[in-house]
Structure 1
Amino acid sequence: MDLNSYSPGLHKLVTLQVDAIEKLKDSKGFVAITNKILDKYSLEQVGINVHDFENDSFTIAVCLKESHICIHTWPEFNQLTLDVYLCNYLQDNAAKVRAITQDYIDYFEAQVLKNFEINR
């Protein structure tokens, strides 16, 4: 492996506008769709932390063997921030990161307000 050309992975950061406010308050629904996404892409969860706030927003960090998925919701503003990062240890996972992000955009039926990609 050429260490000078190695890229540790792709980190996707998006801010989404969501009309379906109930999804921005449904941490259990997010965990359920995340479990389906993890199965779909053969990713391994090693931990999860869920926090529901008093205003029904939530924040969730899913630790993966391959890295992480994190979300923060703001139902009062119809928005969420999401980041998806997968390491490239054994293979290039950039396409997988983009596909996972799109699966979440589809789940939330969201409009993308901000969309950043960081090659780490």
Structure 2
Amino acid sequence: MHGLHLIADLHDCTCPAAHLLDRAMLAHFCADACRRHGLTVVGELFHAFTSPDGEPAGVTGTVVLAESHLAVHTWPELRAVTVDLYVCNYSGDNSTAARRLFDTVLAHFAPGSVDKKEVARGHLRI
């Protein structure tokens, strides 16, 4: 159960609009980034939203990892993104890989400001 949970709210993102709107591009980026940082992708699901008038309105997606998950939600109208990354450390300490992946994902959106938290999870009670 022992793991690391990293969460962030990104504001005033200056990335290209496609980073916030293109479901396929975001899915590819997230899965590829997980692999590049040594984490094991076992599945993914990304969904693009549309406004009532049919315009693109953001993406929500999750990459399921053997080590746990990466979730990303975009709000292009606010130039905002939320990121949620949790890795467990059952078979080895994945904290360094998680922090590097987290930094890569945050940099991808080029936020003007970031609110982030780091939480140690699942310490076993004896």
- Shorter-chain TM range is 0.7 to 0.9
1:41-120 map, 5 Å = 41-55=37-51, 56=56, 57-120=58-121
Identity %: 30
Count of residue pairs the alignment pairs up = 114
Corresponding letter in the other structure for 1:39: R
In structure 2, C-alpha distance between the alignment counterparts of 1:103 and 1:113, rounded to whole Å: 14
Question: Which of 14, 23, 34 pairs up with 1:19?
Answer: 14
In structure 2, C-alpha distance between the alignment counterparts of 1:66 and 1:30, rounded to whole Å: 20
Deviation at 1:41, TM superposition (A): 2.1
Mind listing any 5+ residue stretches in structure 1 that lack a counterpart? 1-6
The 3-state SS of whatever aligns with 2:50 is coil
Dislocated runs of 4+, deviation >3 Å? none
- Asked whether the equivalents of residues 14 and 112 of structure 1 are also in contact (C-alpha less than 8 Å), the reply is no
Mind listing any 5+ residue stretches in structure 2 that lack a counterpart? 122-126
The 3-state SS of whatever aligns with 1:43 is coil
- Asked whether the equivalents of residues 12 and 115 of structure 1 are also in contact (C-alpha less than 8 Å), the reply is yes
CA RMSD of aligned residues (A): 1.5
